[in-house]
Amino acid sequence: DTTTNIMFYVRDDRTSPNNLHVQAASSNPVLIPQSGVRLSDFTATDQGLRVKLSLTPLTNQFGDATITITATDRGGLSASRFFVATVIPVNDSPAITAAETLLGLAGAPSPPLPIQVSDLESSADQLVVTGRSLAPTIVPESNLALTHGSGGNWNLVVTPATAEPAQAQIELTVTDPEGAQAKRTVNVLFQRELLTPFGSAVDDARANQLLWADFNGDRRMELLISRSGSLILRQPQPDRLPQLAFVATADGFDDLGDVDNDGDLDLLVHVNTGNVTSSRVFVVRNLGGFRFEQMPGAVFTPGAARFADFDLDGRLDVWVAESATNLVVYRNTGAGFEVGRHFALKSSLPDSASVGSLTLMDFDADGRDELVLATPDSAPLRSDPVFRWTGDGFVAITNFWASRAIHAIADFDQDGLPDLFADDVGSSTLLAFWRNQGGLEFLQTVPTWSNPGRLTTVVADFDGDGVTDMLFSNSLYLGSRDFTFARIQSPLANANVAVAAPADFDGDGVMDIALSMSLTNLPTLAVYRGGSRTTNRPPASPPNLRAQIVGTHAVMLSWDRATDPEQSGGLTYNVRVGTAPGLADVISPMSLPDGFRMVVKHGNAGWSSNRLLTALQPGRTYYA
């Protein structure tokens, strides 16, 4: 595996050293290829032409090769000499791989840590793995349990000596039969249970949608539930989830927003009767005090629907994908909704394809949302085409990522651009992370995750470190900025989770979660409180707010990016605009005046540091 250098001399009675031509060749290119035979450092001396010969064998090869050196004078006469080069085998060190971090619960054995070992010269069964605790007061070496599976597969279970949260390092060593070794250090973190039961209710029908929001501005989150054709609110209490209010008769909700800019949260909901003429999408207006009514004149054709500001005038319009090829936008005038404007959508989806949901997300931070049509989870092969706005319509993005089924959107690496957790490039039963490269380009990362049954996926920061984590089916994974995730023990291991909604419902700075799931075959609605030791503190306010007039009745609002004590990036921004200080009658932030967010959503400006506002009326406006 190493290079050997040899010095030799060439001379001729009638040819000067500088006119001699020297070549070298190997008889065994499998051992020493021609690229591994190199002549250099040609120097004329009294003894003749001094030449350096360097021989480099291929990695992990051994044997004999005949090296022939040929010298040619200026008259074309040649002479050759040869020798046999013997490459002696050496014992290479074995290899060991394991995750950098192992997460466990304080006072309990950790989950098994998979370890893989291999060696070039020895079979995997001949390799021995040992462990040594670098923190014996926390983890005595007697508490390290190493078990050998098949081949090069081992498992390590670590048991702490204390019931308190703690951290230790374990040094793993693999040794081959010749005594060569390789080492790997693993950080073991023992922490309190991240999720503990708070309140639950056994229902006669499983909830198919969950959403947290502060519907009355009291800084406490209520839980909106869709089940059995009704929308209801519950207020979590210790050991129970009492019903707070009836909201509407509907088969589900599509979105949440302040459609009339009055500071209260309204709902976009739907009724599906199976008949196009009687099915509908409509707005349920929040009257305050947990009273709701259907908004007059705000009834739309059925389809996958969403609130979004299409014309950037600060008011939420209604978007409805009536089919995979037809989008209708109903413009909000402030006094009602205009007749829908139709846009043709052309993509890989056939005209007859069903649309399960509609998502709007600014993937390239240009101030305009891209449009994602998601086929239902029940579809045999999901495909979520993505469209960009061209100024007068929507055009399908043809990049390969834009046809993958998308399961979660988050800025996993905190670079200020939303990334994807979506189908693998080669298989719909595998999932992968797609890193946003900018300019609507995404690059798939490794490794892939198995997803045979379209499992529930939600993202949130469960451990308060500022990095996005993930609940995948009934397993909790803590994330790192490099798109790697470590699985941690969870109280949901035996549950069949259908729907999940994370939020800090009690305002203690720690992420909680609501779930609709089955335990012992009973549909259960449950709320789990977060138990992280780290409290997520709010970021600083964005500095250097500024405004630039960019046209008639239009202004570009911009600001510098904010800092956060827990994370280096990944913040989204929320804009409030009003006709007087503190008002939000132009753009509603869906927040209280002190910034308390009433919804579990990205800010209305997304990850961007600017926001275009059109249709401003003469006079003074204020933004924050």
Residues 464-491: tens digit of each pLDDT: 888 899 999 888 988 888 898 888 878 8
Query: Using 50, 70 and 90 to split pLDDT, how confident is the model at 524?
Result: confident
Q: Do 25 and 111 fall into the same domain? A: no
Secondary structure class of 224 (helix, strand, coil) = strand
pTM as predicted: 0.76
Using an 8 Å Cβ cutoff, are 324 and 348 in contact?
no
621 pLDDT above the threshold of 90: no
Single out the residue of 494, 469, 458, 563 nearest to residue 209, CA to CA. 458
What is the domain extent for residue 557? 537-623
DSSP code of 517? E
Task: Name the domain boundary from 26, 54, 87.
Answer: 87
Quote the pLDDT of residue 618: 82
Q: Do 49 and 121 fall into the same domain? A: no
Cα–Cα distance measured from residue 571 to residue 610, given in angstroms and rounded to the nearest whole number: 13
507 pLDDT above the threshold of 60: yes
Residue type, 39: L
Average pLDDT, the chain: 90
Task: Name the domain boundary from 159, 191, 223.
Answer: 191
Report angle CA 336, 342, 343 to the nearest 5 degrees: 135
Q: Do 169 and 150 fall into the same domain? A: yes
Using an 8 Å Cβ cutoff, are 153 and 147 in contact?
no
Quote the pLDDT of residue 466: 86
% of the chain at pLDDT higher than 70: 98
Q: Do 61 and 102 fall into the same domain? A: no
427 pLDDT above the threshold of 80: no
Rounded to 5 degrees, what are φ and ψ at 173? -130, 130
Q: Do 74 and 131 fall into the same domain? A: no
Cβ of 110: how many Cβ atoms within 10 Å? 23
Cα–Cα distance measured from residue 511 to residue 492, given in angstroms and rounded to the nearest whole number: 16
Cα–Cα distance measured from residue 239 to residue 202, given in angstroms and rounded to the nearest whole number: 12
Quote the pLDDT of residue 329: 97
Q: Do 35 and 9 fall into the same domain? A: yes
299 pLDDT above the threshold of 70: yes
User: Residue for token digits 């988050």?
Assistant: 410
Quote the pLDDT of residue 165: 86
For residue 239, tell me if it sits in a domain.
no
Would you say the C-alpha torsion 428, 431, 432, 433 has a positive or negative sign? positive
For residue 12, tell me if it sits in a domain.
yes
Q: What is the pLDDT of residues 336-354, one digit of tens each?
A: 999 999 999 998 788 788 8
Dihedral angle over CA of 513, 373, 343, 574, nearest 10: 30
Task: Name the domain boundary from 142, 157, 191.
Answer: 191
Using an 8 Å Cβ cutoff, are 334 and 355 in contact?
no
For residue 385, tell me if it sits in a domain.
no
% of the chain at pLDDT higher than 90: 65
Quote the pLDDT of residue 561: 92
Using an 8 Å Cβ cutoff, are 478 and 489 in contact?
no
User: Average of pLDDT values for 372-398?
Assistant: 85
Cα–Cα distance measured from residue 434 to residue 423, given in angstroms and rounded to the nearest whole number: 9
Q: Do 131 and 78 fall into the same domain? A: no
User: Average of pLDDT values for 406-417?
Assistant: 92
Per-residue exposure over 580-619, b if at least 16 CB sit within 10 Å of its own CB, e if not:
eeebbbbbbbbbeeeeebbbbebbbbbbbbbbbbeebeee
Cα–Cα distance measured from residue 268 to residue 476, given in angstroms and rounded to the nearest whole number: 31
For residue 235, tell me if it sits in a domain.
no
For residue 167, tell me if it sits in a domain.
yes
For residue 471, tell me if it sits in a domain.
no
Q: What is the pLDDT of residues 145-157, one digit of tens each?
A: 999 999 999 999 9
Q: Do 140 and 67 fall into the same domain? A: no
Q: Which two tokens stand for residue 299?
A: 């009834």
User: How many domains are there within the chain?
Assistant: 3
Residue type, 37: V
Q: Do 41 and 107 fall into the same domain? A: no
User: Average of pLDDT values for 23-40?
Assistant: 95
Query: Using 50, 70 and 90 to split pLDDT, how confident is the model at 381?
Result: low
Single out the residue of 337, 421, 327 nearest to residue 371, CA to CA. 327
Q: Which two tokens stand for residue 263?
A: 């500071």
Quote the pLDDT of residue 69: 95
The residue with greater pLDDT, 417 or 194, is: 417
Quote the pLDDT of residue 377: 66
Q: Do 76 and 100 fall into the same domain? A: no
355 pLDDT above the threshold of 80: yes
Q: Which two tokens stand for residue 561?
A: 């990016």
CATH number of the domain that residue 619 is part of: 2.60.40.10
Q: Do 66 and 126 fall into the same domain? A: no
Query: Using 50, 70 and 90 to split pLDDT, how confident is the model at 454?
Result: low
DSSP code of 109? P
For residue 469, tell me if it sits in a domain.
no
For residue 585, tell me if it sits in a domain.
yes
Quote the pLDDT of residue 509: 87
Q: Find the range with the poorest average confidence among 106-120, 216-230, 524-538.
A: 524-538
Cα–Cα distance measured from residue 615 to residue 551, given in angstroms and rounded to the nearest whole number: 10
CATH number of the domain that residue 16 is part of: 2.60.40
H/E/C letters for each residue in 331-393?
CECCCCECCCEEEECCCCCCCCCCCCEEEEECCCCCCCCEEEEECCCCCCCCCCCEEEECCCC
Q: Do 115 and 149 fall into the same domain? A: yes
